Structure 1
Amino acid sequence: MPVRSGGPDFIGVGAQKCGTSWIGYVLSQHPQVMLRRKEVNFFVRHFHKGYRWYHRWFEDRGLKKAGEITPNYLYSPRPDAARKQFYPNWSPRELLLFWRKKPSALAEIRESYPQVRLFAIFRNPIDRAWSHYWFWRNRKERIGKARQVRSFRRMFEDDGRWIRTQGFYGQILRPWLEAFPGMGVYLHDDLKRTPLELAKQVYRLVGVDESFVPEFEKRVNEGRYEAMPAEEKAWVAAQYREDNLRFSELIGRDCTHWLAPHL
């Protein structure tokens, strides 16, 4: 596959419920950045529309750095259940032919845009899973489908909405870092403790003036939900223990404090 011109200068690939909206907010404020839409979802939902469609999101950038942030890319390719969800009216044959063309977001990005700047942000996987669950639950209740709401533990065990899978950061991130060694890897901890320094790191990666100071007052996608019971925290922490060690080693930062209080 040839390297394509006219594509994004940067792509945020994940992770879900970890702070991508915040990064999108600080990028959108920068005068040297063009971020027309946060989640384009090209490689997971709109790939059949073609690269010409995708490149329209980055037209007329001038001297600005143009890009997008789609948290779903980090987990692509998706399982069969996701294919049916996104394309419910397609026959099994149509789905097979389509997905043969799209092996994964990582493969497509690596082959089409080898020089693109990639980044991802990660959060305590216990908090991420709980936030993801309540996002799904509140959405069901808003659209009048409260009967479909399941307990958190059942959702986690069944991997409904990939709540469990998306927290295995070490397993998920490794192939991305192998393909893009210079990929930016950020932590939600830094967003809370040193937001300005994190913003500067993102600006530096994207290639714009890092002296720009964005606004931080606005709350971005902060969901409100019940506190997670201690027994659930301990149970989830045990599921992620080994992968959390791998993730810490992979990124060169100690993240064991995420789980340690609950083990």
Structure 2
Amino acid sequence: MFRLNRAFGVGRDAKAFLNMQGGLTRGEVPNPEHHEDQAERLRKIVKRQRKVLRRKDRQIEEQAAALETLRERRQHEIRLRTELKQQRLEVFRLKNELDAMNGLVETARDVPSAEKVSGEPGIGALPDFVIIGAQKGGTSFLYYLLTRHPLVEPAARKELHFFDNPERFDNGAGWYRRCFPQSGWKDGRRSITGEATPSYLFYPPVAKRMAGVVPQARLIALLRNPVDRTYSHYQMQVKRGTEPSTFEEVIEQQHAPYVPRSIYVDQLLCWFEFFSKEQMLILKSEDFFERPVETLKVVLNFLDLPEWQPEASELEQRRHTGSYKQKMDPSTRRRLEAYFEPYNKRLYECLGVDFGW
């Protein structure tokens, strides 16, 4: 009995082993043709998927090529816009230069002859004072008030641009003299005359030229908060139609004149090489704007003129309020204040006075 059971177990194990080797399980025996059909269907599915993948790859490549074309086209458009902007800027600058030249021509036409100014042939005068700057610092208002004084005779024009225009300077001092009336006497006092060209302060050659022609002239400079002066200068050019860029753009441009003209200390140091500090009166523009009568007294004393007070209507007639449609961005103001701070400190040390900018 024991041997029979053992033989039966051995046979069962052998059958299970053979079934495992043949890949068979219990149940219906697999049909080889059915497996072949399934394999064929799978091959077809794989083939179709490969075709789809290849088609997708081609689409991706075409899209990538199209994007690259668009990118190149966009870069080309950006380059063209940049070139167009530069060309427009150049056109504006050329127009500005042309307008300036036309202005100089008109100025030359307006300059009277020595006979007409002084009443004597071939005789004029040299200025007793010159307001040298700064531009947008209140020079027009100050010159207007000064020329209302009974002992101050105006020049042929407020701004003669004799010392900052090489062609005009080459005309010689005789041309410059013809722009001023000869000194006269009123109530036992001699009258004086002068001009006001605010760009003189900025150009280094002017100080040396002026020292050679009018070494005894008394010089007046109005210095305005550099941030406000810079923005006012920019707004003036915008109003004239000669500045197409935004304020934030122009202060980043190295060739733009707005910021450099507001660095006063370096400009004044050039002047101090040829004129003593006693010969120059440096005023804070904000003091003049807020208290014009008091500031005018200081100027009259500097020019050895008797006290005189303009009428209220004269104080308002030529005063520019400096209001703008668009205010300066606060963040831009902070940037400029930080930029000008070291220059302002040097200015205070140079002059021995703190303007509080």
TM-score (norm 1): 0.78
- Find the partner of 2:248 among 153, 158, 181: 153
1:229 aligns with 2:349: no
Q: CA-to-partner distance for each residue in 1:24-65, whole Å, 9 max, x for gaps?
A: 111111010011321011011221222111101113332310
In structure 2, C-alpha distance between the alignment counterparts of 1:197 and 1:249, rounded to whole Å: 25
The alpha-carbon deviation at position 15 of structure 1 amounts to 0.3
Find the structure with the greater CA-based Rg. Answer: 2
| Structure that is richer in helix per residue | 2
The alpha-carbon deviation at position 187 of structure 1 amounts to 0.5
Tell me, yes or no, if the aligned pair for 2:151 and 2:191 is still in contact at 8 Å: yes
- Find the partner of 2:219 among 108, 118, 133: 118
Give 1:208's aligned amino acid: L
In structure 1, C-alpha distance between the alignment counterparts of 2:322 and 2:291, rounded to whole Å: 21
Tell me, yes or no, if the aligned pair for 2:153 and 2:181 is still in contact at 8 Å: no
Per the alignment, residue 31 of structure 1 pairs with 150
Percent identity for Structure 1 against Structure 2:
34
Per the alignment, residue 174 of structure 2 pairs with 52
Q: 1:1-263 residue pairs with structure 2 within 5 A?
A: 6-36=125-155, 37-45=157-165, 46-62=168-184, 63-77=190-204, 104-140=205-241, 149-178=244-273, 179-182=275-278, 183-209=280-306, 211-214=307-310, 215-225=314-324, 226-255=326-355, 257-258=356-357
Tell me, yes or no, if the aligned pair for 1:159 and 1:165 is still in contact at 8 Å: no
The alpha-carbon deviation at position 175 of structure 1 amounts to 2.5
Q: CA RMSD in A?
A: 1.7
In structure 2, C-alpha distance between the alignment counterparts of 1:212 and 1:118, rounded to whole Å: 20
Q: CA-to-partner distance for each residue in 1:91-131, whole Å, 9 max, x for gaps?
A: xxxxxxxxxxxxx1100111222211111000100000010
In structure 2, C-alpha distance between the alignment counterparts of 1:24 and 1:160, rounded to whole Å: 30
Give 1:74's aligned amino acid: L
Tell me, yes or no, if the aligned pair for 1:157 and 1:164 is still in contact at 8 Å: no
Q: 3-state DSSP class of the match of 1:8?
A: coil
Structure 1 regions of 5+ residues with no counterpart?
Answer: 78-103, 259-263
Structure 2 regions of 5+ residues with no counterpart?
Answer: 1-123, 185-189
Q: What is the total number of aligned residue pairs between the two structures?
A: 220
Structure 1 segments (4+ residues) deviating >4 Å:
none
